[in-house]
Amino acid sequence: MFNRITKTLAGAVALAALASVASADNWRGWNIHVDGYPNTVAMDKFAELLAVKTGGEYTLQMFHGGTLGSQPDAIEQVRAGALEIGNFNLGPIGPLVPAANVVSLPFIFKDVPHMFRVLDGEAGKIIAAGMAEKGIQPLAWYDAGARSFYNGEKPINTPADVEGMKVRVMNNELFTGMIAELGGNPSPMAFAEVYQALKTGVVDGAENNWPSYESTGHFEVAGFYSLSQHLIIPECICINIGTFNALSDEMKTAVLEAAQESALYQRDLWNKREAASRAAVEAAGVVVNEIADKAPFQAAMAPVYEAYFEANPDLRPLVELIQATE
Ligand code: GTR
């Protein structure tokens, strides 16, 4: 008797579970960052908002810390629909999407507010359309601050200080070009490998924003941070285009709203974390170097822009549009 009831109950539970799998769409999401990082917290918030705003019809399970692979691999997985969602930096998306690569041109943005004004305008639409064409629909933009150089030996004040230095960059010809034009040796490498590479001297330096410099522990093995601020690259909450296009209009609105709210939350967390990360590494003994004159770094980037125009002659107006945006 007892056995029969247990069996019936177990069957009912299994049926209910099946029904919930069938009625809900359970998405899987990729993020590279550790617990507590602004993007990690804000992606969890996105998952929470998604469930609420879609009335539980869509849910998202986030995989943080890069556990589902490197960023270039995850971008491919979202394109292929093996994953539905990713929090991506546009740097590694650039090689796939020439229009989205404009944001990875060194010194293209004046500052972070300028970057957001550009993304909110016509240029943002062109960039998003280029991404959608390659299978990745951006839903909202996250802040990733400005990236600066760091290394273990000395402060960097002029391009001559980069000469001969092995510098890790993200996978993108614009970044290898950037280091080469400064006289250094570019070394493209996955984010997860950079700590060991710095520690063992495989590279002499790298470049990133304050929160990543701090959260990865790179500051422990590369104690000079020089404020070059050569790259200001946005990040996205991105979705597989097929997944997005299959949504009803009502669900599209709900998903977009959840992403926008998550992005506003992320930007607020970002501002606080930038200050906190800087304070933490300074307290740990990092030498922060203000570069008095950044003009020589900017001037050295002319060939990087030329190579970009040569490969994408049709994208010159997009660059000019960004430069003309107040
Ligand atoms: C971080 C960014 C990551 C990743 C990383 C890197 O600032 O948030 O998505 O691009 O930099 O340097 O690989």
Q: Where do the domains of the chain lie? A: 23-143+234-276, 147-232+286-324
The Cα–Cα gap between 277 and 286 comes to 11
Residue 29: helix, strand or coil by DSSP?
strand
Task: State the CB neighbour count (10 A cutoff) for residue 62.
Answer: 16
The Cα–Cα gap between 291 and 277 comes to 20
Both tokens of residue 155?
A: 């402060």
For the chain, list residues with pLDDT below 50: 1-23
How far out from the chain centre does Cα 26 lie?
23
Residue-wise pLDDT for 90-125, tens only, equals 999 999 999 999 999 999 999 999 999 999 999 999
Q: Whose CA is nearest to atom 13 of ligand 1?
A: 191
CATH match of 23-143+234-276 with 3.40.190.170: yes
What is the predicted pLDDT for the residue at 124? 98
CA dist 159 → 56, 104, 111, 172 (Å): 53, 19, 21, 20
Residue-wise pLDDT for 165-184, tens only, equals 999 999 999 999 999 999 99
Task: Please give the distance, rounded to the nearest whole angstrom, from the Cα atom of residue 271 to the centre of ligand 1.
Answer: 17
Both tokens of residue 72?
A: 């270039």
Q: Which helix (H) or strand (E) holds 239?
A: strand 235-240
Mutate to test the pocket of ligand 1, among 87, 178, 195, 208 (most ligand atoms within 8 A of CB): 208
Q: Whose CA is nearest to atom 10 of ligand 1?
A: 89
Pocket of ligand 1 (CB under 6 A): 32, 71, 89, 91, 144, 170, 191, 208-209, 212, 235
Contact (Cβ atoms closer than 8 angstroms) between residue 47 and residue 255: no
Q: Whose CA is nearest to atom 1 of ligand 1?
A: 212
147 is in an annotated binding site: yes
In the CATH scheme, what is the homologous superfamily, with its name and number, of domain 147-232+286-324? Bacterial extracellular solute-binding protein, family 7 (3.40.190.170)
Same fold, 23-143+234-276 and 147-232+286-324: yes
How far out from the chain centre does Cα 53 lie?
25
Strand-pair category, 85-89 with 235-240: antiparallel
